[in-house]
Amino acid sequence: MKIVVLAGGLSPERNVSLSTGVMVTEALRRLGHRAGLVDLYFGTEEAGDAFFDAPVPEELKHISRQAPDLEGVRRSRPGESKSLFGPGVLALCQAADLVFLALHGSCGEDGRVQAALELLGVPYTGAGYLGSAIAMDKDLTKRLVAGQVSTPAWRTVRYGAEDVERLADETSLPAVVKPVASGSSIGVSIAHTAQELRAALTEGVALGGRTVLEQYVSGREIQVGILEDKALPSIEIIPKEGFYDYANKYQPGAALEVCPAEIPPETEEKLREAALRVYRALGLSVYARADFIVDGAGEPWFLEINTLPGMTPTSLLPQEAAAVGVDYDALCQKIVDASLAARAQGR
């Protein structure tokens, strides 16, 4: 098959996406596909079949500790186009048998790229446009599933710098502060003091000011991948310091990851059931990863679900798949096959 691997884009998770894209492209080539990597935002001048054999930059696998400077990324693209699609991207996608979405975050995981490809009649990997859009919105997701799974109490606020003091005064501590539509823990803070809360809220203004203020639940951080509509073994993340933030996610050795998680079978079953309940409620397909906190009583608390989980050298879903005998290359092939089936079924 001729497969375009779409990565990069204009999201705080741009660097994570490029790492995923390189890994996926290499795997698809090992599987015998003709796969080429293209940056959604910068596009390519490479035309025709030569694109599918172009070298893949190995250095993009490595993710820096800091999220990218998106203003700098914007300035570095020639021309004044405001399109998120770079030159030649849509034409390349239309020339392919499938687009493998290696995108993460608000530029690629929120349903807009999926909708554009669907309008063009181009098959793509992962969930459909509507489920992707809902899952990207943490507030909407929690509203839809709150009656079906346990989720920490929350409220969503839209605010500016002038509202920080008021919100700090009326928010119970400890609290989790996170953007409504972001991933990779970018902009997420756990505030134990009023000073930490004010700092987190101030950071939230710079990220758009639409923020979830969530009850902090103490416990073990455990995630459950879903592949082909079935739950994979859970994985526990134990950061060596702090919580599972952007740096701890993508720097090798920054966190201990245990898969399968060392939990009682009944807790594992609760997690699997909760993950699938959310997955089905949002109408997702192909694959996803649900994030939980398991409290001291063994109760899973659902936090969020990701429709395009990372496939980087430190990502969790490949580790969960490996625990059931599915290596990285086989995982990519399963995603390809399940996605083609889902698109054929209108999912």
Position 205 scores a pLDDT of 85
Instruction: Decide if pLDDT at 18 tops 50.
Output: yes
Position 248 scores a pLDDT of 46
Are 158 and 108 in a shared domain? no
Token pair recorded at residue 102: 């290696």
pLDDT band at 253 (very low <50, low <70, confident <90, very high): low
Instruction: Decide if pLDDT at 246 tops 50.
Output: no
Instruction: Decide if pLDDT at 244 tops 50.
Output: no
Are 301 and 211 in a shared domain? no
Q: What is the CATH number of the domain that holds 194?
A: 3.30.1490.20
Position 263 scores a pLDDT of 97
Are 296 and 176 in a shared domain? no
Instruction: Decide if pLDDT at 245 tops 50.
Output: no
Are 183 and 224 in a shared domain? no
pTM of the model: 0.91
Per mean pLDDT, which range of 25-29, 30-34, 85-89, 178-182 is the poorest? 178-182
User: Is residue 129 situated within a structural domain?
Assistant: no
Element (H, E) at 238: strand 235-239
Instruction: Decide if pLDDT at 196 tops 60.
Output: yes
Are 98 and 164 in a shared domain? no
Element (H, E) at 289: strand 287-294
CA 329 to chain centre: 20
Percent of the chain clearing pLDDT 90 (strictly above): 77
* Spatial contact of 306 and 282, defined as CB atoms under 8 Å apart: no
Position 65 scores a pLDDT of 73
Are 202 and 323 in a shared domain? no
> Mean per-residue pLDDT for 65-71?
82
pLDDT in tens, 324-333: 999 999 999 9
Token pair recorded at residue 346: 């209108």
Are 286 and 211 in a shared domain? no
- Three-state DSSP at 237 gives strand
Are 106 and 222 in a shared domain? no
User: Is residue 272 situated within a structural domain?
Assistant: yes
Token pair recorded at residue 140: 């909407």
- Three-state DSSP at 246 gives helix
Are 106 and 170 in a shared domain? no
Residue that is last in its domain, among 196, 215, 234: 215
Position 166 scores a pLDDT of 93
User: Is residue 186 situated within a structural domain?
Assistant: yes
Position 39 scores a pLDDT of 96
Taking each helix axis from N to C terminus, what angle separates 328-344 and 14-30, rounded to the nearest 10 degrees?
A: 100
Element (H, E) at 116: helix 112-120
pLDDT band at 308 (very low <50, low <70, confident <90, very high): very high
User: Is residue 340 situated within a structural domain?
Assistant: yes
Are 96 and 174 in a shared domain? no
Per mean pLDDT, which range of 48-62, 149-163, 293-307 is the poorest? 48-62
> Mean per-residue pLDDT for 85-90?
94
Instruction: Decide if pLDDT at 76 tops 60.
Output: yes
User: Is residue 173 situated within a structural domain?
Assistant: yes
What is the bridge-based pairing of β-strands 189-191 and 175-179? antiparallel
Instruction: Decide if pLDDT at 204 tops 90.
Output: no
Are 39 and 171 in a shared domain? no
Are 143 and 168 in a shared domain? no
Percent of the chain clearing pLDDT 70 (strictly above): 94
Position 251 scores a pLDDT of 54
User: Is residue 12 situated within a structural domain?
Assistant: yes
Q: What is the CATH number of the domain that holds 237?
A: 3.30.470.20
User: Is residue 20 situated within a structural domain?
Assistant: yes
Q: What is the CATH number of the domain that holds 89?
A: 3.40.50.20
pLDDT, averaged across the chain: 91
Position 255 scores a pLDDT of 80
Position 120 scores a pLDDT of 96
Residue that is last in its domain, among 215, 234, 267: 215
Residue that is last in its domain, among 177, 200, 215: 215
Position 182 scores a pLDDT of 65
Range of the domain at 271: 136-149+218-344
User: Is residue 131 situated within a structural domain?
Assistant: no
How many domains would you assign to the chain? Answer: 3
